[in-house]
Amino acid sequence: MRVINFVENFVKALSQIDYQYQSVRKIFGLPLLSINLGFDGNNEMRKAKGIVAIGTNAVGIFSVGIFKSIGIVSVGIISLGFGTVSLFSVGLITISVLGLGIVSVSIFALGYLAIGVFALGYKSIGIIAIGKEVVAIIGVGVQIDSLFKF
């Protein structure tokens, strides 16, 4: 119940924020800095799009999105990019709660090199790890360095 109240209050507070900024300087047709927070008239989340993008939804080379973020370096609740930091992320290198990437450092990690509490990957390191080469307390795999081997 407390979590639901927190989320409701967070969304209410976020919907009252109304801030937009775009730098005049452009690179390849994109603003150098784009900040776009809040919701538009149709209650749709605004999108910041630029080289550096900060917003409710953000798309840019360096992006920080409150909800969604897409960029080479991406930070947000849900992130997609080369290097991501988030709750849920997909990228080449991810740091998150639930991550999917070539290198994933997450609580629930999926990737070629997966490091986490629960790790699933070709090379896995974790408390519970599954993969070909595994280092774990509880490990399942071909080459296992584990306290308990399966």
Mean pLDDT of the chain: 89
Query: Which of the residue ranges 5-14, 26-35, 63-72, 94-103 would you say has the lowest mean pLDDT?
Result: 5-14
Tokens 């290097």 correspond to: 83
- DSSP codes of every residue in 41-64: TTSPBPEEEEEEEEEEEEEEEEEE
Region 59-71: what's the mean pLDDT? 94
| CA angle at 98 for the pair 95 and 100, rounded to the nearest 5° | 75
- The pLDDT value given to residue 11: 66
- The pLDDT value given to residue 14: 64
Task: Answer with the residue of higher pLDDT: 1 or 136.
Answer: 136
Q: What residues does each domain of the chain span?
A: 2-149
- The pLDDT value given to residue 114: 97
